Every structure is written in structure tokens, then in C-alpha cells.
Structure 1
């Protein structure tokens, strides 16, 4: 654990979270066809980022100094490349195949990249997360997300 880097990153992300939360206040309060305004997600994401950053700063200050600095962690470029590619494809495919399918595929790829075994649990968690968030946002909060593609006939 690099305390200086973690502490610095925590401060930077705390500032970014505060900027998100403050910037969300300038977004209009209503969206066409939605009872949930567009300012809700940036505000929530800003608050979550600030909380996680505060936790990171706390952990960096609390964690004892590292004893052995000779062993540096090996960077895993393959996993990073897979997650980065999946993120880019996720953003590009959402309008074409819908939120539920694209999020399901993105989560499944992410879970399998981090831990290759346990396919059944990864499929179940990916399906529950993508379907659950869609249901919560579209049905409960009456927001709008790209649904299923028209070519599926659903």
C-alpha cells in the first residue's frame, strides 16, 4: 500500500465528488417523460465518490508504514485491457442492444475477468443487477433508460 498515493488520490477524488455534487445543482430539475430529474444521478454519484474518498483517506492515514518497499506489485495489463475494452463497448452498445442486455454482458465480462470460475453465480448476479437497476429506475422511480432492442420483439 502506497500511503502517499492513496492519500493524494483520496483528496483528488474527494474534490471531484464535490464538483459533481455542486455541479448537479445547476442541471434542470425535470426531464421529458421522467419524474426523476437528470440532476439526481450526478448528485448521488458525487456523494458516493466523496464518501469513498473519505474512507480511502482514513485508511491511508490509519494504515501502518510498509516494511518492505523492495517488492512492487505486478501490474496486470491484460485484465486492465479487457475491462477498458468492455467499458468502451458497453458505452457504444447501450443504445443498440438496450440497458439490460449491455449491462448484463458488461458485468459478466467484468466478473469473469476478475475471477474466472463460478460462471453460474456470475450469470445470476449480472442478471439480477442489470434487471434490478432497470426495474428500480424505470418502474419505481419512473425514469427512462434504453429498454430492450426492437429486433428482439419484447
Structure 2
């Protein structure tokens, strides 16, 4: 654990979160056919980023001074996750939110070291389907649906 790096990065991410919150207020508050405005998501992300940054900053005070460990860089995992993110963004409109998010989460869980394919698939399916249902049906937002070639 590198206390200086963690403190510096927590401050940087808190500032980025504050920028997200400030700039999301400049986005119009309503969208066509949606009761949830397009400013909600970036504002929520900014608030979450600020809260997580504050927690990281607070936790740096609890680090033990004697702990010095070599940082293990996992370039392969990082590049695979970056590739999964790019593919997720690329295919989001073509295959819809639920399917693309399911595969993205499944890839992410497996890259992070989840041992069970079944548990990873179940959590990915529950999350992608649950978020879609809540956002589209309850909050009346809009997300890319299922592709037309599926016939759903």
C-alpha cells in the first residue's frame, strides 16, 4: 500500500467527481419520452466517486507504516478489461443493454478471479436485467432494448 499515492489519487478522483456533479447540472433536465433526465446518471456517478474518494482518503490514515509490499502489475487483466469496455460500448446499441451488460459483467467477474461460471452468470444476468427493469419500467427511462432479430 502506498499512502501518498492513495491520498493523491483520492483527492484527484474527488475533484473529478465534483466536476461530474457540476457539469451534469448544465445538461437539460428532461429527455424525450423519459421522466428521468439525462443529468441523473452523471450526477449520481459524480456523487459516488466523491464518496468513494473520501473513504479512500480516510482509510489512508489507518495504514500501518511498516507495510511495504511490491506492487504487482497485471497488464494482461487491465488490457482485457479495457478491451471488454470498448466492446461493451461498441455493441451496446446493436445487441441492447441487457445482453451487452450481461457479457461485460461476466467478462469482468471472470477477469477479477471469480471461480464459478454459474455464479458469475447468475449475478450478471440478475444485475443487467434488474437495472433494465427498474430504469425502464419503474423510472420510465430509456435504454437500448433487445435487438429486433431476437423477435422479443
**TM above 0.5:** yes
Residue of structure 1 aligned with 2:102, choices 77, 87, 104 = 104
Q: Distance in 2 between matches of 1:131 and 1:66?
A: 45
- Measured after TM superposition, the shift of residue 42 of structure 1 is 1.0
What is the correspondence of 1:71-150 to structure 2 with a 5 Å cutoff?
71-150=69-148
Q: Distance in 1 between matches of 2:67 and 2:20?
A: 37
Q: Give CA-to-partner distance per residue, 1:81-112, whole Å, 9 cap, x none.
A: 11110000000000110000000000001111
CA contact (8 A) 2:97 2:144 kept: yes
Structure 2 counterpart SS, 1:31: coil
Unmatched tracts of structure 2, length 5 or more = none
* TM-score normalised by structure 2 residue count: 0.96
Q: Give CA-to-partner distance per residue, 1:105-149, whole Å, 9 cap, x none.
A: 000011111115211110100000000000010001000000000
CA contact (8 A) 1:7 1:61 kept: no
Structure 1 counterpart SS, 2:38: coil
* TM-score normalised by structure 1 residue count: 0.95
RMSD: 1.0
CA contact (8 A) 1:104 1:126 kept: yes
CA contact (8 A) 1:10 1:57 kept: yes
What is the correspondence of 1:2-17 to structure 2 with a 5 Å cutoff?
2-17=2-17
- Measured after TM superposition, the shift of residue 73 of structure 1 is 2.0
CA contact (8 A) 2:14 2:50 kept: yes
Give the number of aligned pairs: 152
- Measured after TM superposition, the shift of residue 15 of structure 1 is 0.5
Structure 1 counterpart SS, 2:30: coil
Unmatched tracts of structure 1, length 5 or more = none
Structure 1 moving runs of 4+ over 4 Å: none
Structure 2 counterpart SS, 1:83: helix
